[in-house]
A and B are shown apart, each in its own frame.
Chain A
Amino acid sequence: MAMKKSTRERVGITILAWVVAFLIFFPILWTFLTSFKSELDAIAMPPKFLFFHWTLENYLEVQSRSNYLRFASNSIILSIGANIVGLIIAVPAAWSMAFAPGRWTKDLLMWMLSTKMMPAVGVLVPIYLIARTLHLLDSLIGIGLVLLLINLPLLVWMLYTYFKEIPVDILEAARMDGASLLNEIVYVLTPMAVPGIASTMLLAVILSWNEAFWTLNLTTSAAAPLTQFIASFSAPEGFFWAKLSAASTLAIAPILILGWFSQKQLVRGLTFGAVK
């Protein structure tokens, strides 16, 4: 009797898990399916799920109307570029906080985190004005800088927790072996922290890729990433749902594929240091 119960329990929980996963995934699935419908089918009531006339016309139209590749390359350059620069700043910062903490280190970490708690819209006007004055509107450097700065607290925090997991005496052994500070970071710390650095970078890239608020406000065409690409399909005449869906699918496809292949690292990154 006990055995049967647990099998039933397990089956029940598995089904429940799949249902929840399906519900969470549903918006993405719906977007994907809608991208293959005609505009009429897209707004049909009752909604059509799988049985409609599948067409590629939306993808063709979306690509002909605006250059997907330019938006995509901007997204790639911004996500990867801003975060590589971020890492170069964050690695030494996290090192000093983890291995040479001072009186104010804990306060500094809290303060950095607190900057993420404020809604971005609160500083929209000042940042916009600064960007305009410095001629950084619609430039890769301008938006790159902003993306760098919003991710920096996250990079430092995550690297800090990964570095804290590294036993201090291994670094001391390196010092006794005659390694200078730079050698210690390059030959010992970084190789040991590579999984942590990779998870951090992955999460940061995903966040920058999806960042919509600043990219929509500070770019128009030259530096516009894929977020602008999607937004351009919501016109004053109304939403072109099918084309919007096609654009959205094209925009999230790369990051979705990246996320699928790096699931393990992502999960590790998101639960960093939580289980010691």
Chain B
Amino acid sequence: MGSIQLKDVRKAFGAVNVINGVSLDISEGEFAVFVGPSGCGKSTLLRLIAGLEDVTSGQVLIDAKDMTNVGPSQRGLAMVFQSYALYPHMSVRGNIAFALKMAGQKADVIEQKVRKAAATLNLTDYLDRKPRQLSGGQRQRVAIGRAIVREPKAFLFDEPLSNLDAALRVQMRVEIGELHEALKTTMVYVTHDQVEAMTMADKIVVLDRGSVAQVGSPLDLYNRPNGLFVAGFIGSPTMNLIKGPPAAKRGAETIGIRPEHADISTTAGEWPAKVRLAEHLGSDTFVHADGDSVGPLTLRLEGEAPLTPGQSIFVTPREAHLHRFDKDGRRMN
């Protein structure tokens, strides 16, 4: 229950191709995250799965059944919108119960299910309030409650945490992860935040301008990005990409080294550089430096590093973690 398959799905709005032949397999119970920069088509892809948009060509299968021409109300999926999309004229109870009412369930069954969902999400005290009387985090929970109570084949999340402040986002991220553990239902989650992608996903789908750049587990994508795009997208701060002699020396057009995979020394090393800025977080230090021949570098050191702007340093990449890319931007092995 809850497997989703996309077969060569294309979507065009007029003359503009937004999705260019995407094929995907999401297994039952998997937490799949669609990630990519703004405009890459991840929300459109989610809406195609939901049925809120029609495909231009291709197939959408849910539980191996062709749902390409089935309307959103009959696909058995539940969606949590970025803006929550709560019904403003209904109470929290009414919002959560709406889908059950549409399904024609009995009043006492509805009440029981609503109470259970509310208890799971700590909303019991707010059942009689209207959405405008709730905080952002509470509204988000109501949106999730509305989805849970339908016991759908899969949950679709469209950037649900974008409108929350940083602390709340971290908390909700954990709660959604725990929800997935508890319900074991398939979840498809769209975000532009690669930290959310890395922490929550079983499988990440990186999208670039309407096509799939790479699919894999978070660590797969982190350790073995298949090209410059994924290498530069996954990982925060971004991977250092270096062209020229240091790359040619290693037989590649471009080499990449993550900020945490380089060593800094004040005495000797491969690349001489000058510190531009050091960001001290307490747990880590981010050093932004200008390499003499390699261009700008960002480096991460554990703990506190007493580096100051203008200081001369030497950066040596750890060869085992070096990534090599050819002239087409593809990974070399």
Q: Which residues of A does B touch, CB under 8 Å? A: 167, 169-170, 172-180, 183, 187-188, 191-192
Contact A176 B98 (CB under 8 A): no
Given A172-B52, A183-B102, A187-B98, verify A177-B150 contact (CB < 8 Å): yes
Contact B103 A169 (CB under 8 A): no
Which of the residues A167, A169, A178, A187 comes within 8 Å of B73, measured between beta carbons?
Answer: A178
For the A-B complex, the count of residue pairs with Cβ-Cβ distances under 8 Å equals 58
A192 and B95 CA atoms in complex are apart in Å by 14
Which of the residues B71, B86, B88 comes within 8 Å of A175, measured between beta carbons?
Answer: B71
Q: Which residues of B does A touch, CB under 8 Å? A: 50, 52, 71-74, 77-79, 81-83, 85-89, 98-99, 102-103, 146, 150
Contact B50 A191 (CB under 8 A): no
Residues of chain A lying within 8 A (CB to CB) of residue B89: 191-192
Contact B88 A192 (CB under 8 A): yes
Contact A176 B72 (CB under 8 A): yes
A170 and B50 CA atoms in complex are apart in Å by 15
Contact A180 B83 (CB under 8 A): no
Nearest CB in chain A: distance from B169 CB, A? 20
A111 and B78 CA atoms in complex are apart in Å by 40
Contact B102 A179 (CB under 8 A): yes
Which of the residues A167, A172, A176 comes within 8 Å of B77, measured between beta carbons?
Answer: A176
Residues of chain B lying within 8 A (CB to CB) of residue A169: 81-83, 85
A177 and B77 CA atoms in complex are apart in Å by 9
Given A175-B72, A177-B73, verify A167-B98 contact (CB < 8 Å): no
Contact B73 A188 (CB under 8 A): no
**A-B pairs, 9 with minimum CB distance:** A177-B99, A173-B85, A178-B102, A169-B85, A178-B73, A191-B89, A176-B79, A175-B72, A170-B85
Contact B79 A173 (CB under 8 A): yes
Nearest CB in chain B: distance from A257 CB, A? 29
Nearest CB in chain A: distance from B247 CB, A? 46
Residues of chain A lying within 8 A (CB to CB) of residue B79: 172-173, 176
Contact A172 B71 (CB under 8 A): no
Nearest CB in chain B: distance from A275 CB, A? 20
In the complex, residue of chain A having the shortest beta-carbon distance to the beta carbon of B88:
A192
A228 and B88 CA atoms in complex are apart in Å by 45
Contact A176 B102 (CB under 8 A): no
Residues of chain A lying within 8 A (CB to CB) of residue B81: 169, 172-173
Residues of chain A lying within 8 A (CB to CB) of residue B50: 176
Contact A177 B146 (CB under 8 A): yes
Residues of chain A lying within 8 A (CB to CB) of residue B83: 167, 169
Contact A177 B85 (CB under 8 A): no
Residues of chain A lying within 8 A (CB to CB) of residue B103: 178
Contact B87 A176 (CB under 8 A): no
List 16 interface pairs A-B (beta carbons < 8 Å), by A numbering: A169-B81, A169-B82, A169-B85, A170-B86, A172-B79, A172-B81, A173-B85, A173-B86, A174-B87, A175-B52, A176-B77, A177-B99, A179-B102, A183-B102, A187-B98, A192-B87
Residues of chain B lying within 8 A (CB to CB) of residue A175: 52, 71-73
Nearest CB in chain B: distance from A185 CB, A? 13
In the complex, residue of chain B having the shortest beta-carbon distance to the beta carbon of A193:
B89
A270 and B103 CA atoms in complex are apart in Å by 40
Nearest CB in chain B: distance from A113 CB, A? 27
A12 and B52 CA atoms in complex are apart in Å by 57
Nearest CB in chain A: distance from B109 CB, A? 15
Contact B88 A177 (CB under 8 A): no
Residues of chain A lying within 8 A (CB to CB) of residue B88: 170, 192
In the complex, residue of chain A having the shortest beta-carbon distance to the beta carbon of B47:
A172
